[in-house]
Amino acid sequence: MSSYLDYQSSKPVDPRVIEAMLPYFHEHFGNPSSLHGEGDEATKVLEDCRQTIAGFINAEPDEIIFTSGATESNTVALIGYASRNRDKGDHIIISEVEHISIHNIAKYLEKDGFKVSRLPVDQYGKINVQKLASRITPQTILISIGYASNEIGTIQPIAEVGALAREKGIAFHSDAVAAEGLIPLDVKKDQIDLLTISSNDIYGPKGIGVLYVRKGMRVNPVIIGGGQERGLRSGTENIAGIVGMSKAVEIMRKEMTEEVKRLTGYRDTLIKNLLARIPKSHLNGHPIDRLANNAHVRFEAIEGESLILALRDEGVSAATGSACSSKTLEPSHTLISTGLLHEEAHGSLEFTLGRFNTEADVDRVIEVLPPIVERLRKLSPLYKAEEMAT
- Rule CB under 6 A: say whether 174 interacts with ligand PMP: no
- Rule CB under 6 A: say whether 324 interacts with ligand PMP: yes
CB 356 within 8 A of CB 298: no
Q: For ligand PMP, give the closer residue by CB, 17 or 70.
A: 70
Tell me phi and psi for residue 289, to 5 degrees: -80, 70
Q: For ligand PMP, give the closer residue by CB, 100 or 366.
A: 100
Give the nearest distance from C-beta 108 to ligand PMP in angstroms. Answer: 15
- Rule CB under 6 A: say whether 70 interacts with ligand PMP: yes
Q: For ligand PMP, give the closer residue by CB, 198 or 380.
A: 198
Exposure on the CB side of residue 372, measured as CA atoms within 13 A: 23
Q: Which stretch binds ligand PMP (CB under 6 A): 174-182, 240-248, 287-295, 354-362?
A: 174-182
Give the nearest distance from C-beta 380 to ligand PMP in angstroms. Answer: 31
Length of the chain: 390
Q: For ligand PMP, give the closer residue by CB, 101 or 332.
A: 101
- Helices 239-277 + 359-379 axis angle, to 10: 60
CB 154 within 8 A of CB 148: yes
Give the nearest distance from C-beta 35 to ligand PMP in angstroms. Answer: 33
Applying CB under 6 A, among 52, 75, 95, 101 the residue interacting with ligand PMP is 101
Give the nearest distance from C-beta 8 to ligand PMP in angstroms. Answer: 6
The DSSP result for 165-225, as a single string, is HHHHT-EEEEE-TTTBTTB---TTTTT-SEEEEESGGGT--SS-EEEEE-TT-----SS-S
- Rule CB under 6 A: say whether 175 interacts with ligand PMP: yes
Q: Name the nearest CA neighbour of 121 among 112, 113, 129.
A: 129
Q: Which stretch binds ligand PMP (CB under 6 A): 69-77, 111-119, 359-367, 375-383?
A: 69-77
Q: For ligand PMP, give the closer residue by CB, 53 or 70.
A: 70
Distance CA 321, CA 351 (A): 9
- Rule CB under 6 A: say whether 156 interacts with ligand PMP: no
Looking at residue 16, the DSSP 8-state letter turns out to be H
Distance CA 354, CA 343 (A): 29
> Which residues have a catalytic role annotated?
324
- Rule CB under 6 A: say whether 146 interacts with ligand PMP: yes
Q: Name the nearest CA neighbour of 236 among 61, 63, 34.
A: 34
Give the nearest distance from C-beta 66 to ligand PMP in angstroms. Answer: 14
- Cβ burial, residue 37 (10 Å; 0-12/13-18/19+): exposed
Give the nearest distance from C-beta 12 to ligand PMP in angstroms. Answer: 14
CB 317 within 8 A of CB 311: yes
Distance CA 112, CA 105 (A): 11
- Rule CB under 6 A: say whether 80 interacts with ligand PMP: no
Angle at 228 between CA 55 and CA 62, to 5 degrees: 25
- Rule CB under 6 A: say whether 99 interacts with ligand PMP: yes
- Rule CB under 6 A: say whether 198 interacts with ligand PMP: yes
- Rule CB under 6 A: say whether 337 interacts with ligand PMP: no
Applying CB under 6 A, among 52, 75, 140, 150 the residue interacting with ligand PMP is 150
CB 66 within 8 A of CB 233: yes
Applying CB under 6 A, among 3, 30, 54, 69 the residue interacting with ligand PMP is 69
Give the nearest distance from C-beta 296 to ligand PMP in angstroms. Answer: 14
Looking at residue 14, the DSSP 8-state letter turns out to be P
Applying CB under 6 A, among 132, 158, 161, 178 the residue interacting with ligand PMP is 178
Beta bridge partners of residue 387, listed in sequence order: none
Note the residues at the interface with ligand PMP (CB under 6 A).
69-71, 99, 101, 146, 150, 175, 177-178, 198, 324
